[in-house]
Structure 1
Amino acid sequence: MEIGIVGPGAIGLLFAFYLQKNEQDVTLYTRTVEQSEHLNKCGITCVQNGMRETVFPRVSPLENIKNETHDYTFIAVKQYHLEEILPYLQAEKRLIFLQNGMGHLHLLQQIQGASVAIGIVEHGAKKENASIVHHTGVGSTKFGLIHGEKKQFEPLLPAFSSGLFPVALENDWKRIMINKLVVNACINPLTALFGVQNGELLTNPSFHKVMKQVFSEVMGIVGDLQCGEYWERVCTVCENTAHNISSMLTDIRNNRKTEVDAIVGYLIQEAEKQQKSVPTLSFLYHSIKGLER
């Protein structure tokens, strides 16, 4: 099966590693020629439970994707890069988007001429350098159909045969996206603002109280009555990833743009539509925007 992956970030490297390891025909697309040359030389190394393994998929600059066709193409760039990436993908027939947040759904619904799915990734992944990714937490990936036929994506599932990379097609994918959005909104911006690992949101009483305030505002927006179940999920993720540094904190420390617009910004927009006041989320949003470089 010929599979394209756009974006050599932590998730892009992780998907490329496991698909290539399962003997799929993978091409990873990078922004620059220098990135592709480095990855073609070094391969992709995945570190999991102290074990290291390297695979060698093809790697090519993004501009070359227009000359190729793939059975499936994964887009693993940050949400704020999507609009500049989409023109390169006009020939692709099956697209799977792996972004955090929900602010991009309206953009995906406008794509014509292709079947479109989203992938909700629950793995922990941390990029050590351009060619090494740490698989820090085994989760699952759930695919949901934006438009097209479900049967078009069913042949993709056997491409992920590893027990460390379970996948499934979900009908109620929006609920799963909301679940992940709640977790991301409660953890990522707070760890970025406070400069702490995920677990400190549980062990520090003051941070824990702020996280509850954020959670309360988020649940008021998403309108789900199962607050106890969602709160338990947030705390479980904090506990299971206690020593992890969130992607948003990593972005702040590396002077990169964050995904705060895709996560907190989206929630604020939804609150405005519902005419609800969300002072804590607003404070969080502007605080992170102020820290961005």
Structure 2
Amino acid sequence: MSEHPKQLLLVGAGAIGQLIAHQWQCAKLPIVTLPRSPSPHADFFDYHFRDYQSARTELCRIPIINDSDFSSIQAVFIAVKAYDLESVFRRLDTLGVPHDRPIICAHNGLVDLTTSRPCYTWITTHGVTRSNRVTEHKGLGSDWIDARIQHHQQLTEQLHTAFPKLHFDADIKARQWQKFCLNCVINPLTAVNQCLNGELLKEQYHEQRRMLVSELVSLSQALGYRLNTADLLVLVEQVCEATAENQSSMLSDIKANRKTEIKALTGYALKKAAELGVNLPTHAALYHQFNQLYLR
């Protein structure tokens, strides 16, 4: 190993970021994190983590990088809300993180972001929640990453080590859009109804689920994505079942009085629909209901 090992820089140590860090550290790979607010007295970011179906809670520690020298950073993993992406990229520029370092982006919503940095989308369907200061991996899912990242050989080897079941997807944009559609159904519905993901499988939500999915398929087809209502409905139900005991990120944000990604999800879908002349009345009604409840 070299004197200065190539490290992964984690930006955004929330629920998904902590899951990524936990798996990375379990593989004995070097990782550091960049705190939202720099503190000269903090050397580690500590969190409590409970792995899937485990009764044991671990105290985990991620070293905090307070050095101005980012030459040891091999790649950056950004796990923040969609609305924070632009500010994170500005911060990387300000700090002098080398421009050629690959950036892995994991976020729920969609934003129109322009950057010359090499960026690779990460998609996950794992269910992770935070409560009582414990982050818990509550639902098994899958992970996908843009296959183009395989040009970075050492990083690809590390990804294989930390995530043995990681899928390298040559059509990550379609995968990202599919995940976006899932989130546009599950997140606002659970937030408005204050329920866990699995509760959306109840009969009382069946027709609304179907209408939300049908409208998203119309938008998808207008954008050139090949989706059909039956398949997307099955996917929504599979995710709700696999993460039945999970609280969606949007509902978690509501309960913690944090800003949500509603604009990067339903808001983005409505924006694209308006541009293309596609009607999304069920999504518009849900968006209005959400705003009436939470954006006072």
Kindly tell me: are residues 277 and 117 of structure 1, through their superposed partners in 2, closer, same or farther at Cα, counting changes over 3 Å?
same
What is the total number of aligned residue pairs between the two structures? 279
Question: In the TM superposition, what is the alpha-carbon distance from 1:81 to its structure 2 partner?
Answer: 1.0
Question: In the TM superposition, what is the alpha-carbon distance from 1:166 to its structure 2 partner?
Answer: 2.5
**Where in structure 2 are the equivalents of 1:1-293 lying within 5 Å?**
1-33=6-38, 37=42, 40=44, 42=46, 45-50=49-54, 51-60=56-65, 64=66, 67-69=69-71, 70-90=73-93, 91-92=97-98, 93-101=101-109, 103-104=110-111, 106-107=112-113, 110-112=114-116, 114-128=117-131, 132-144=134-146, 150-160=149-159, 166-203=165-202, 205-223=203-221, 224-290=226-292, 291-292=294-295
Note the alpha carbon deviations across 1:159-215, whole angstroms, 9 max, x for none: 245687631221011121122112111111011001111122211x23221111111
Using the TM superposition, name which of 210-219 and 25-34 deviates more. Answer: 25-34
Amino acid at match of 2:49: T
Kindly tell me: are residues 271 and 41 of structure 1, through their superposed partners in 2, closer, same or farther at Cα, counting changes over 3 Å?
closer
**What SS does the aligned partner of 1:125 have?**
strand
Percent identity, please: 29
d(CA) in 2 for partners of 1:194, 1:156: 41
Note the alpha carbon deviations across 1:6-57, whole angstroms, 9 max, x for none: 01110111111111221111001221246983x8274553433123334433
Question: In the TM superposition, what is the alpha-carbon distance from 1:250 to its structure 2 partner?
Answer: 1.2
Amino acid at match of 1:215: V
Structure 1 gap ranges (5+):
none
Question: In the TM superposition, what is the alpha-carbon distance from 1:280 to its structure 2 partner?
Answer: 1.3
Note the alpha carbon deviations across 1:260-291, whole angstroms, 9 max, x for none: 11111111111111112212111222322331
d(CA) in 2 for partners of 1:163, 1:66: 27
Contact 1:138 1:165 in 2 (8 A): no
d(CA) in 2 for partners of 1:193, 1:278: 18
Using the TM superposition, name which of 210-219 and 132-141 deviates more. Answer: 132-141
Kindly tell me: are residues 86 and 245 of structure 1, through their superposed partners in 2, closer, same or farther at Cα, counting changes over 3 Å?
same
Amino acid at match of 1:127: R
Question: In the TM superposition, what is the alpha-carbon distance from 1:158 to its structure 2 partner?
Answer: 3.2
Match of 2:3 in 1: none
Using the TM superposition, name which of 261-270 and 65-74 deviates more. Answer: 65-74
Contact 1:7 1:77 in 2 (8 A): yes
Kindly tell me: are residues 181 and 42 of structure 1, through their superposed partners in 2, closer, same or farther at Cα, counting changes over 3 Å?
closer
Using the TM superposition, name which of 177-186 and 150-159 deviates more. Answer: 150-159
Kindly tell me: are residues 83 and 214 of structure 1, through their superposed partners in 2, closer, same or farther at Cα, counting changes over 3 Å?
same
Kindly tell me: are residues 35 and 190 of structure 1, through their superposed partners in 2, closer, same or farther at Cα, counting changes over 3 Å?
farther
Structure 2 gap ranges (5+):
1-5
Amino acid at match of 2:121: I
Using the TM superposition, name which of 260-269 and 84-93 deviates more. Answer: 84-93
Contact 2:150 2:156 in 1 (8 A): no
Contact 1:20 1:55 in 2 (8 A): no
CA RMSD of aligned residues (A): 2.5
Contact 1:188 1:249 in 2 (8 A): yes
**What SS does the aligned partner of 1:57 have?**
strand
Kindly tell me: are residues 242 and 44 of structure 1, through their superposed partners in 2, closer, same or farther at Cα, counting changes over 3 Å?
closer
Contact 2:52 2:140 in 1 (8 A): no
**What SS does the aligned partner of 2:9 have?**
strand
Question: In the TM superposition, what is the alpha-carbon distance from 1:126 to its structure 2 partner?
Answer: 1.1
d(CA) in 1 for partners of 2:83, 2:45: 29
